[in-house]
Each structure stands twice: as C-alpha cells, then as structure tokens.
A and B are shown apart, each in its own frame.
Chain A
Amino acid sequence: MIELRSLRKEFAGVVALEDIDLSVPAGEIHGIVGRSGAGKSTLIRCLTGLERPTAGTVTIDGVEISGRRGEELRRARRNIGMVFQHANLLDSRTALGNVEHPLEIAGTGKRERRARAQELLELVGLADRAGNHPAQLSGGQQQRVGIARALAADPRILLCDEPTSALDSGTTRQILELIRSLRERLGITVLIITHEMSVVREVCDSVTLLENGRIARTGTLLDVIRDTDSPLGRELLPLPPGGAGEGTAIEVLLTDVPLRRLLDIVDRHSADAHIDSGAIETITGSPVSRLRFTVGDPGAARALVADLDAAGIHAEVTR
C-alpha cells in the first residue's frame, strides 16, 4: 500500500534521508520511530508530496506521489488522510465544519458532506460536539475531530505525525484505541510517526527505526522484540528501572515458551532465585515477557543460562 524505493532527500547538500526502502502492506499499522533529527518529519513530508525527494520514489496505493505536481498531486493527496500532532483544526469552523472541509475542497455537495461529517463525528464518538469550535474542545477531542477530518474523503491511508505527543497518557490510550478500531472497521492502512515507544508497542504491527536518515531496523514488532541483539527490541519492551538485588542477574526473554517451563528450569538450578523485575506485554496477540532473575550462586547462574539456552529460551547474565 505504501512503497518507498531508494528514497533520498538532501537539503542544500545535507543528506536528510538515504537508502530508504520500505513497504507497508494494506491494513497494517506501521510505526516509524527515531530521535528528533533522524529524518522522521522529512520522511512524512516526502510521503505527502510536501517535499520532493532528491531521488527514489514514493508510491501510495499504486500512485506515484513523488512524480506529481499541481492538480494531479492535489488529487493524489485526497487519498491520504493526515493527522497532526496539534490537530491543526480551523478555529473559524465548528467541529462539523472542520470535518466537512476536505469534502468542500473536493467539491462535494453541501448536504452530502454534512451527512458524511456527521457520520464521522459519530464514528470518533463526538456526535454531540458537532457545533463546538475547537477552542471549546479538549486536546483529545480536538485530535478526534482531526482524525474524523482525515477520514472524511475516504482515504486508503492514514498518516499520523506524532498524533499523541501533545496528549496525556489516558487520552493517548483512547486515541490509539480509536486508531486501532478504525483499522478493524475500515481496513485502512496506518503509518504512525512517533518518538514514543509505548505508542508503537500498543498499536503497531510493524516498526521502522530511523537513525541519521537511514533505516537502522525494520520488521514486525514481534520479530524486532524477539531479536535479542536489537537495541530497538529492548526499547520496545524495557524492564522497569531499579529493583535489582544482591547476586547474579539473569535476563530472560520469553516469547513462545510457556512460563511454566521457564520456572521449572529455574527451580532445578537455584532454589533462591527470584524475579526482581519484569515486563509482560501482548504484542500483536502474542504474549511476550522480559524477566530478570537474581541468583545467589554465580556457578548456578551460569548453569541456568546454559540450560535455558538449550531449552530455546534466550537468557544472559547481565551482572
């Protein structure tokens, strides 16, 4: 659905993006993460044709965006819904008027666009706030209106640029829940640009890490987390800080193996082993956990790691 081929972007000789090859299949929620300055914003601007790539192509739903200008580009953009960090709603319009705006631009008749906007406000749970101006809505509500507006022209793709970065954690969860349910109901493909790993963990199927304008890592969320050599995997499923007691610490990443097996093996080696930290998540439907044990006897710890490895459970001594 979204295809980037050898994308490159320079600004006055400075390379902002290089060798970007990325393919997001239809109906997937893909996250793009990276520190500020990694090229996330440039990437999204290339995706939307606000910026022309220096080389390479951007193809969205079979239409090459990168080669288009003027009216052709404007028409292609109507197939992309965009959600911004600050909803960027027009203060001069009501919530309903804002949702109608893309349809007005596309030339849809008044009655039809009103009906469609009403329907969309209902979809995002704001039917009762249709007559309110943005200033009368909370940040989360504004973002819902922003999402409804992005969906108004029936796009196949939703691009979200830091959609929750300005929201508190409760509201963030609601917005992510909404994005997920939209994917289920509308089959829409979603690309989320974010610097928050928790957003990726909660809603994405796959993820790409940008570093210095290049793709440092890309893959399904489960694959990235399972890859114990990947720093991104650790960032996506971090252990809560602190809590390490005396003794040798062993970190275990548990993906397909039932917890019972793990505990049996641990029990065999060390009666005093205890879990002092752990993160347990369900990632795209599969349970994944990262656990840290402390074992008093270093010899027992080494034997335990060897045994766990033999059983196909990744484990390593971390202290």
Chain B
Amino acid sequence: MNTPTWFDNPAITVELLPSLGETIAMTAWSTAIAILIGLPLGIWLFVTTKHSLAPNAVLHQVLSTIVNIGRSIPFIVLIIALIPFTRFVVGTALGWQAAVVALTISAIPFYARLVEISLHEVAGGKVEAAQMMGASRGQIIRQVLVPEALPGLISGATVTAVALVNYTAMAGAVGGGGLGDLAISYGYNRYQADVMLACVVLLVAFVGLIQLIGDRLARLVDHR
C-alpha cells in the first residue's frame, strides 16, 4: 500500500469538499436559528431591564441567569449532555444535522447577550421621542430599537457565526462531520499534514469570508 503523496490524497480529493459543505451547513443553520431565537430573547432581556420599556426585575434576573448558565457550560460538555435531546429532535446523535442542535443551543445565549448590549447602545432619547409620538412598546421595538441597533445586531451575528465555525470543529470531534472532523481524523490521528493544512486554510478562508460579508452588511445599514 503506497502512502498518498501531498495533496494527492483521497481525504483531500474526495472528502474535502463535502466536509466544507457540512461546515458551511452547520454554521449557516445554527447561526440562523440562533438569531431567530436569540434576537427575541435579547430584546426580552433588554426591555425587562430597570427603566426600560417593560421593567421586571424578577423576570430579568431569571432570563439573565439562564443565559449565563448557557454561556458557561463548556461546549464539549454541552454536546454530550444534549445527546438525548438531539436524538429526540433529529432522530440521531451523529452527523452534521445532529451537531446543529448543540451548536444552536450554545449560540442562542451568546447572541442574546450581544443583542442586549447593542440595544443598550440606542440613545434613550430616541425611545422617549417615540413614546411622545404615542408609540406602543411593540412599535418602539420594531421601529426604533431594532433599526437603530441594526449595525450592532449584524456585527453580533457575525461574531456568533465565527464562534460557531470554531465550535463546528469540536462538534466534528464527536461525530459531527465537517472540516474539523476531517482535520482531526486524518490530519491529527493519521499524521497527514496536508489534510490538516488544507482544512485549516479552508477554515481561515471561510471565517474571513463571514467577517467580510458581516462587515459589509453592517456598514451598509450604518448611517451614523
């Protein structure tokens, strides 16, 4: 059996592209779902703050604690702890679809906090002005808070997506697939440095692309 020469390696020629696809799919789905749930959660955290639109100290503390717990559990522990839940949702604990569950759950509290921070940046006078126009809480959230915080919300989503790319590698380690999985199984366990290099280059490029798109989008909606 001859050892494949550099880059003329089935792990690269056959498996690299599908692995990249899995990484992209994992990142895209978990980012999308994390935004979908993290955005309202972050808004809820914000409006229950003292002197905000719907101050509620108890509720705020409860939400805040949940978010903190979610953020403090190490991701690798979270994946394993979530296996029963993942089986229930996806039907299996293996494959990139299963990894999306743990990725999403770890990203929701992360993004919710970033949303809360962005909303705090919106000047109180703008909210007051809308209140004076007779706006309801819903109108203030939709017409003032979210549009005014949009550049920050987009930057937050970018940071979240980049963190998720990182986490996909860990999800790969426990059977999630993707570039991280490929890098560990071939590059690390079988000493195939070319696979490791190819995976890292692709990951770096992918993260760079996310950052580029995120920055562009944020700048596009930033009129300050």
Contacts and interface: CB of A to CB of B under 8 A. Distances in A.
Interface stretch (B19-27, B132-140, B168-176, B177-185): B132-140
B133 A135 contact: no
B221 A92 contact: yes
DSSP class of B's interface residues: helix, strand, loop or mixed? helix
A276 B211 CA distance: 70
B132 A82 contact: yes
Contact of B148 (A76, A78, A90): A90
Contacts of A93: 147
B4 interface: no
Interface string B138-160: 01000110011010000000000
B131 A105 contact: no
A76 to B, nearest CB: 8
Interface string A83-127: 010101111110000000110111000000000000000000000
Contacts of A133: 223
A33 interface: no
- Most chain A CB within 10 A, of B136, B139, B147, B223, is at B223
Interface string B210-224: 000000000001011
A75 interface: yes
A250 interface: no
Interface residues of A, number: 27
Given A84-B125, A133-B223, A90 B131 contact: no
A92 B134 contact: no
B87 interface: no
A9 B221 CA distance: 42
B50 interface: no
Contact of A90 (B128, B134, B139, B144): B144
B130 interface: yes
Contacts of A141: none
Contact of B129 (A75, A84, A91, A134): A84
A88 B143 contact: no
19 contacts: A48-B132, A71-B136, A74-B135, A76-B134, A77-B132, A82-B132, A84-B125, A86-B125, A90-B148, A91-B148, A91-B223, A92-B223, A105-B134, A105-B135, A106-B133, A106-B134, A134-B223, A135-B223, A135-B224
